[in-house]
Amino acid sequence: MKRKVTTVFLSFCILAIINSLTVSAETGIRWSPAPTGPSRHTEPRLPELRRERSMSAFPIRRVPVHVLVDQQWISGDIHRNPFNPNGNPNYRQTTFDIIFAATDVYWQEFSLDIHGSGVITRWHSPNTLDGEVLLANARAHGLAGQRLQIAFSGRRFIQFFDRDNNEWIEIGGLASFRDWGVLVLDFGTHNRAITQHELGHNYGLDNHDETIVCFMGDADRHFGRICASCRNTVNATRTMF
């Protein structure tokens, strides 16, 4: 009798778990493991899906990303485990965390589930200071069956030629306007803001004056905030990818 009760209880638990997974699949909820202190820094968090529902009325649109990283990015100090600073850098976790944070505004505002596909391609980036050459080299690796590409490089002091002002300027990232392809350089804590801003260019957003409260202006200060003009643009371009 005791064995029978135990069996029934276990069967009930299994059915409850299956039912909860089915509901998640049907409602399209993005899911991510909750932070758990030190252990969060020891295991990579793969394809990021959120628990909370989007605030947007749009239908959910999945946009998997082909992620590229070069050797300089892999060996960068940004990936050091703060709980074990002498251990091996966990570049996979850092990379997915940046994408997860940077794309939250696209999820909340437009139901765009922009997420790493779970596969990271190691990229032998060329030795150049020209950001356009670096982005073109990354784009040559293609989408690998995904809808967008984000290439992370540990290089610093990359330049972009500003044709309007006929001068070279230092950049933190570069993107293909209304087309797939983002380049993010390692600027430490600024990486998530750079990624969010450059993805905006993919969806047709222009740079703003820094006084406008929008991540297309001062990307750091206005991280996660979008103006009405940019919102209208992405409303029209959200199905590009």
pLDDT tens figures, 8-30: 444 444 444 434 333 222 222 22
Mean pLDDT of 46-63: 68
172: DSSP letter: S
Same domain, 4 and 104: no
Q: Judge if 64 and 4 occupy the same domain.
A: no
Same domain, 173 and 77: yes
Coil/strand/helix, residue 72: helix
Model confidence, pTM: 0.75
| Type of residue found at 126 | P
Q: Which structural domain, as residue segments, surrounds residue 7?
A: 1-29
Count how many domains the chain has: 2
Contacts of 137 (CB under 8 A, 6+ apart): 125, 126
Look at residue 156 and tell me if it is in a domain: yes
d(CA 55, CA 110): 8
User: 24 and 110: one domain?
Assistant: no
Helix (H) or strand (E) holding 106, with range, is: helix 104-110
pLDDT over 50 (residue 125): yes
- In this prediction, residue 4 has a pLDDT band, given cuts at 50, 70 and 90, of very low
Q: What is the mean pLDDT of residues 136-147?
A: 95
Whether residue 174 is contained in a domain is answered as: yes
169 and 125 assigned to the same domain = yes
Q: CB within 8 A of 74, min separation 6: which ones?
A: 89, 91, 122, 154
Q: Work out the average pLDDT over 85-112.
A: 86
198 falls within a domain:
yes
> Do 211 and 166 reside in the same domain of the chain?
yes
> Within a domain: residue 47?
no
